[in-house]
């Protein structure tokens, strides 16, 4: 059973309140919608207090070319990706001693908000002293499901190579995809939710001596994973690529889809692994938004307090796409106890679901 031993975060430097973003959006969208004040209630009711952006809010007032935004993505991704890796491998909350960069066998880099070839981890390998033989697995296009999917793929890698130490690096700079001239409701709602964030997790195989590494009394092991893609659901969420870059596709039906589709998916997964919802102590949910969290509670009939950590991350960081679930996992790892069971879940374009069953084990 591969284990997750550390998580490191790297939020961008610009912390912006929801009120500031709402005022910015009011100026931008007033002429497009006669009922702008009603639509702006999405900012007030979305449970988000503040977010982090890669650039100051004034930067977004000017129209930017696709190249200009993508250049900003690459620059910031390298900077914050390096910082997240360092924070993960030197995290004193989780690790007794720093992990040497050369001990890392593979890096899974997850992103959907910018384009880079060579990929970001290759550029970071010219800054941080990784082995030149470190395997690189960049994964693009999984959106909000990407963090959970990255953990799943790292789990499978460590099953194949039980001595491996693997990084899952999530880089999402959603703000840099913002389209100033897209006066659609999808863009308005996206502006009320999405944020920037970078995080990194360390996943290790069975034959790694975890007790000599882990600072915690218990750490999460990954028991099983499941990926599911709904047929004929390509229009639920994603990007539409146009001349000026990436335009958000964001269906208003997402909460209702979750309510109808998620429970049978979760129940089947848990039953296959000899477990029931009632046995879970932790629900490590990607907080796509307040309505998504409400749909989790309604669909799965969970106690609302099981989503307190997800709600707290949403309030203070917004929806950072794939990165968000690693922030939730980070906080969960600090409070979970030996033998606790947890379900990690995230939903993304496809429309897809990624599930991981976790159990905490003593060092």
Token couple for 323: 């990165």
Token couple for 336: 């979970």
DSSP H helices in the chain: 18-29, 36-39, 41-45, 66-89, 120-124, 146-160, 185-193, 254-272, 290-300, 308-317, 324-333
Residues in the chain: 363
Report the C-alpha gap between 179 and 66 in whole angstroms. 10
CA distances from 306 to 141, 168, 318 (A): 29, 25, 18
- Asked whether the CA dihedral 12, 167, 352, 324 is positive or negative, the reply is negative
3-state secondary structure of 268: helix
Contact 203, 81 (CB under 8 A): no
3-state secondary structure of 55: coil
DSSP state of 188: H
- Burial 91-127, CB ≥16 within 10 A → b, else e: beebbeeebebeebbbbbbbbbbbebeebbbebbbee
Catalytic positions: 144
318: left (phi over 0), alpha (psi -120 to 50) or beta: left
Contact 143, 354 (CB under 8 A): no
Report the C-alpha gap between 45 and 291 in whole angstroms. 10
- Asked whether the CA dihedral 113, 185, 309, 24 is positive or negative, the reply is positive
Token couple for 153: 């793929």
């Amino acid at each position: 059973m591969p284990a997750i031993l550390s998580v490191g975060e790297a939020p961008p430097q610009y912390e912006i309140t929801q009120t500031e973003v709402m005022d910015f959006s009011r100026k931008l969208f007033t002429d497009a919608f006669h009922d702008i004040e009603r639509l702006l209630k999405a900012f007030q009711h979305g449970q988000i207090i503040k977010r982090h952006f890669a650039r100051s809010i004034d930067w977004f007032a000017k129209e930017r070319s696709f190249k200009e935004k993508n250049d900003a993505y690459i620059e910031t991704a390298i900077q914050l990706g390096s910082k997240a890796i360092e924070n993960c491998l030197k995290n004193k909350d989780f690790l007794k001693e720093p992990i040497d960069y050369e001990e890392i066998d593979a890096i899974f880099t997850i992103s959907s908000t910018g384009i880079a070839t060579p990929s970001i981890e290759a550029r970071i390998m010219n800054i941080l002293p990784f082995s030149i033989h470190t395997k690189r697995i960049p994964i693009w296009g999984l959106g909000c499901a990407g963090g959970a999917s990255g953990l799943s793929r790292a789990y499978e890698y460590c099953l194949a190579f039980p001595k491996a130490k693997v990084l899952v690096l999530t880089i999402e700079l959603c703000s840099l995809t913002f389209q100033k001239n897209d006066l659609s409701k999808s863009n308005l709602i996206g502006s009320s939710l999405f944020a920037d964030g970078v995080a990194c997790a360390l996943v290790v195989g069975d034959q790694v001596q975890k007790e000599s590494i882990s600072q915690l009394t218990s750490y999460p092991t990954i028991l099983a994973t499941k990926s599911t893609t709904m047929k004929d659901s390509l229009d639920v969420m994603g990007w539409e690529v146009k001349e000026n870059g990436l335009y958000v596709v964001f269906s208003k039906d997402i909460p209702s889809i979750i309510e109808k589709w998620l429970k049978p998916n979760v129940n089947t997964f848990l039953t296959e692994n000899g477990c029931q919802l009632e046995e879970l102590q932790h629900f490590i949910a990607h907080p796509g938004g307040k309505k998504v969290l409400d749909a989790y509670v309604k669909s799965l009939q969970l106690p609302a307090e099981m989503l307190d950590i997800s709600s707290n991350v949403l309030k203070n960081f917004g929806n950072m796409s794939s990165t968000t679930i690693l922030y939730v996992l980070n906080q969960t790892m600090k409070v979970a106890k030996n033998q606790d069971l947890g379900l990690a879940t995230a939903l993304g374009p496809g429309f897809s679901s990624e599930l991981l069953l976790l159990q905490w084990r003593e060092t």
